[in-house]
Chain A
Amino acid sequence: MHFLLKFLITGDSGTGKSCLLHQFVENKFKEGATHTIGVEFGSRIVTIGKNQVKLQIWDTAGQERFRSVTRSYYRGAAGALLVYDISNRNSFTSIAKWIADARKLAGADIALMLVGNKLDLEDREVSYLEASRFAQENEMTFLETSALTGEGVEETFLKCGRAILTKIETGQVDPERPGSGI
């Protein structure tokens, strides 16, 4: 089977969303990136089980900087990666708001994944255990990544893709429904 899955990335400004996307699509770190300009989405075809899956991942286009992401950005997404920076506690605290937005605007069925980025940094402010518990309470899968070294990046996207395919197989999500993101 072939699937096209629409994903989106949210989370506070400066948590490395565009770099994660870049690392996943290009397998390299994006140098000298400040605020996002000109990135609509990235896409890559991956193999999950026996399925060829095209992951199309939409970026916020920087509109999250002043919490001004358009409602329409969320429409028709099958999954969302909610990214925080493990060395920045505030970005972790904001995740609750990003979850609420995603569930409200994209639909209750959306597969959510919590991603703690910047694993390469030394000054950690959010422990693995705490984030992992938080993810469990909010029914999200959880991973830590480094968009710099690439650690965990591939796994993150594959895991999210797998979660959605499972939802399809178990009948939790109907790929035929318009706006399901599949």
Chain B
Amino acid sequence: DEQYDVVVMGTGLTECILSGLLSIEGKKVLHMDRNDYYGGESASLNLTQLFKKFRDGETPAAALGKDRDYNVDLIPKFMMANGELVKILTHTDVTRYLEFKQIAGSYVYRDGTIAKVPATEMEAVRSPLMGLFEKRRAKKFFEFVQNYKADDPATHQGMDINCTPMSEIYKYFGLEPGTIDFIGHALALHLEDSYLNRPAKETFDRITLYMSSMARWGKSPYLYPLYGLGELPQGFARLSAIYGGTYMLDKKVDEIVYENGKVVGVRSGDEVICDPSCAPEKVHKTDRVIRAICLLKGPIPNTDNVDSFQLIIPQNQVKRKNDIYIAGVSASHNVCEKNHYLAIVSTVVETENPQEEIQPGLALLGPIVDKFVQVVDICEPIADGKSDQVFISKSYDATSHFETVCDDVKDLYKRITGNDLVLKQRQTQEEEQKEMADQ
């Protein structure tokens, strides 16, 4: 009965950011979800929703506490303090709907023990991660990264990072395998080692992002929204609604109807944006990821009793191809009842027995009260959507942050509108209020 420019299916973060951005630009957006809650795969669930998803029919134990105290993330991701998502949040002023807290520490598993990723120069000096001479070599390497300017050959020491592979740079500085693991996996956050043979620029950018994020607030490079990651899609959904977007939850749409290869409407929209689960025949699987959501009674051992952390087990340490990640948050982030902690152990699946693959991670957690495991397909669209006007987002991948999500948002935006995404600064809440008062 109403005409829309864009129909969006699934209220995951990627879809909600796009709805918000397109609504601001004056597009009429209809946004639906099959669930009666926001967020899709990037939702945070209360106990009832969590049990319904993983163990339908079973009731949560009374000892777990109140339903409403829980906001359990399905995907283990944090926001890089200096990353793209923070930029989008501040430009759209969606920050007005949210409160953030820092993740207290970043850790890395090395030779059977857990070590803190140094957050300050002091911590770096004291860190057991490298010997004294290795620290000097590493210092030279980091200075090189920091001072490298593309347009100033004097800073290049004869290497062009656009073509020199990362392995050559490590060799040049004489870094030990353990240090290379640390830099590539704990700082550049590569999930596996294929980066070594690629030009160094990519890794330089990642190290710079990590360092600048760390420098912003100290402690760790990560921020986290109170009440869980599910607050992020909800914030962008409200932004879209403020600019006229129409929202329908609990709306089952069976299939997208195509006519002569073009979409003819879930209702009557010119364009459809959806997540991979809404168009299974138009995506292909790139990976499988296992995620074990663990409910704990205390902080995990050997992490200074922090209320939140990231712990990386680099693949070499446990003879794998892909790193194992552990993301931990707790009651101080309003995601579970007092005295409880949540940790998600995850990795890219390499064998027929993924449960076995995450054992090294689970073993570091201490006693586990309960565990919810899912193995999910990571999918991406086969086509760019231009011919059928169905624009499909990618699944949330195994990386520990939202940088690839933002890349996907930008890529979809360009495919849909034909233009590059240029973020405009929206008025802040204070400015809006002042303007209202002046009228």
Contacts and interface: CB of A to CB of B under 8 A. Distances in A.
5 contacts: A61-B242, A62-B246, A70-B238, A72-B227, A105-B68
Contacts of A72: 97-98, 227, 231, 234-235, 238
A43 B241 CA distance: 20
Given A25-B436, A105-B68, A71 B234 contact: yes
Contact of A70 (B38, B68, B429, B436): B38
A40 B98 CA distance: 14
Interface in A117-158: none
Interface in B397-439: 429, 432-433, 436
Given A37-B244, A38-B244, A68-B247, A61 B436 contact: no
Interface residues of A, number: 21
A171 to B, nearest CB: 22
A71 B433 contact: no
B238 A38 contact: no
Contacts, number: 59
A43 B238 contact: no
A43 B247 contact: no
A133 B136 CA distance: 78
A72 B94 CA distance: 12
A38 B240 CA distance: 9
B298 to A, nearest CB: 24
Nearest to B33: A68
Contacts of A105: 68
Tell which of B68, B247, B436 has the most Cβ of chain A within 10 Å: B247
Interface size of B as a range? 20 to 34
B439 to A, nearest CB: 8
A67 interface: yes
Contacts of B248: 66, 68
Contacts of B235: 70, 72
Interface of A: 25, 37-40, 42-43, 61-63, 65-68, 70-73, 75, 104-105
A137 B35 CA distance: 33
Interface string B86-111: 00000000000110000000000000
Contacts of A70: 38, 234-235, 237-238
A42 B436 contact: yes
B125 interface: no
Nearest to A104: B68
A138 B97 CA distance: 29
Nearest to B16: A70
Given A37-B244, A67-B249, A61 B234 contact: no
A111 B323 CA distance: 49
A170 B268 CA distance: 55
B243 interface: yes
B436 A43 contact: yes
A104 to B, nearest CB: 6
B141 interface: no
Contact of A73 (B37, B230, B238, B244): B238
Contacts of A71: 37-38, 227, 230, 234
A65 B242 contact: no
Given A37-B242, A37-B244, 20 more contacts: A37-B243, A40-B429, A62-B246, A63-B241, A65-B246, A66-B246, A66-B247, A66-B249, A67-B249, A67-B250, A68-B247, A70-B38, A70-B235, A70-B237, A70-B238, A71-B227, A72-B227, A72-B238, A104-B68, A105-B68
